[in-house]
Amino acid sequence: MQTIGHYIDGQRVAGTGARTKDVFNPNTGAVQAKVSMATPAELDAAVKSAEAAQIKWAATNPQRRSRILFDYKALVEANMDALAAMLSSEHGKVLADSRGDVIRGVDVIEFACGVPHGQKGEHTYGAGPQIDVYSMRKPLGVVGCITPFNFPAMIPMWMFGMAIATGNACILKPSEKDPSVPMRLAELFVEAGGPPGLLQCINGDKEIVDAICDHPIIQAVSFVGSSDIAQYVYARATANGKRSQCMGGAKNHGIIMPDANMDQAVKDILGAAYGSAGERCMALPVVVPVGEGTAERFLEKMLPAIEAMKVGVSEDPDADYGPVVSEVHRDSIADNVTKAVKEGATLLVDGRDFKLQGYEDGFFIGPSLLDNVTADMETYHDEIFGPVLQIVRADNFEDALKLPSAHQYGNGVAIFTQNGRVAREFADRVEVGMVGINVPIPVPVAYHSFGGWKRSAFGDANQYGMEGLRFYTKVKTVTQRWPAPEEQSSDSAFVIPTF
């Protein structure tokens, strides 16, 4: 059986650590590989190699760095189908969704190709008598990027694309559940002409996460995962003086106003709630119909739509979603449905006992729909991260607005309405970082930035876009004067200079 090691200095290397973890095929439930858990010594060797590569990379002019990223973008696109198949085999999402995972990452690489424009700094000629002031955005050095299992292509490219474009080296620590795509992405960077050592891929678990947070050479840490771990990583990294951006969990709401186009809203919510088996931080697991009539019209159309969905293996082109990533996670989702019923929710569609014929050992779970969920229920408060949609009924706009605003998470939210004034007021007042208006999954395009509020994000910098550029650079400001010999003063100035 294959054992996946690490990608260091432009080549795959076997791990020297004694510990490994299983990599499953979620479609069959079978172990398909082992992945080596790196030791702190292996991380240290990779960091030192990255540090040496970064010095030369930072000295490379921005347009040359950009050209390599252009070639990298083209190479990833040429390998799209192979990457998607690899991704589906370890994660379980259907192939079309896996291709979307890669494409949304490539979007950020494409934006990163234009970093020379964003990194050029500011200049003021004549800020004082014969004095000019200009600023430079300098790379940080070596940065650590810790990514989750649910987007093993997109989120790594969100991070290392911006980090590398701005002149940094990157230590990528992907999820041990699906490590093959991140490894291949690192390999493709070198094939595209990137310097060996600049993008290292180190597999591991908490031991390596801690080592990344503690390593004195690593200057910044970017993380995406659950909120509890995001808070932990943020605290540990910042305690060591590192710049840190840590994205956590979510419980995104979809508000349906009485005037919404219900046919479109149902289609949008169906895909946003159940796509990728709900394993998205931007999934839409809570729907809030405003008014009893709205709720009943929603159910009238949503129930048959759920019944018509197809759960299947990743390779099935007709499947709407595939298995979840692990048996443990599947059981956790089912336990949450059971808990919601005990809390008083009404179970309208029960997916807990779903089995796919011929793939009974796979990590499949059917869609569930829960009605009459209330804000005091634990299962409403927590992130389920599975194909479970909860209905929380609201009497009016104000009650609907309070639900996402008061929730512990503030990642994304959507409102479905045909009233522009209501939509504008909602977008202005809701206490959530990303808002969709008739858009169920409001993940911003690559030239904006991604980030939530409250326990969905720790740190003050968002992912990618200009926020990403600022996160991976530090500003140096130069004030200069070139006086002629006859203009030089012989007196010392003992007061602060004024211009």
Residues forming beta bridges with residue 247, ordered by sequence position: 224, 457
Looking at residue 483, its amino acid is P
Contact 14, 38 (CB under 8 A): no
Contact 368, 387 (CB under 8 A): yes
262 alpha-carbon distance from chain centroid: 30
**Crossing angle for the helix pair 80-91 and 180-191, to the nearest 10 degrees:** 160
Q: Which residues contact 33 (CB under 8 A, 6 or more apart)?
A: 1, 2, 3, 4, 22, 23, 180
Q: If 0-12 CB within 10 Å is exposed, 13-18 middle and 19+ buried, where does residue 212 land?
A: buried
Q: Which residues contact 78 (CB under 8 A, 6 or more apart)?
A: none
What tokens does 146 get? Answer: 């810790």
First vs last Cα of the chain: how many Å apart? 71
Contact 253, 404 (CB under 8 A): yes
| Alpha carbon distance 273, 288 (integer Å) | 13
Q: Is 281 an active-site residue? A: yes
| Catalytic position from the list 113, 145, 170, 281 | 281
Contact 53, 198 (CB under 8 A): yes
What tokens does 223 get? Answer: 């993380």
What tokens does 474 get? Answer: 């530090």
Cβ neighbours, 10 Å, residue 57 = 21
Cβ neighbours, 10 Å, residue 499 = 9
Cα angle 241, 246, 250; round to 5: 155
Matching residue, tokens 């294959």:
2
Q: Where are the alpha helices (DSSP H) in 177-326?
A: 180-191, 206-214, 227-239, 262-274, 292-307
Q: Where are the alpha helices (DSSP H) in 279-395?
A: 292-307, 327-343, 378-381
What tokens does 37 get? Answer: 């858990």
- Exposure string (b/e) for 171-197, b if CB count within 10 Å is 16 or more? bbbbbbbbbbbbbbbbbbbbebebbeb
What tokens does 480 get? Answer: 């200069």
Which residues are annotated as catalytic? 281
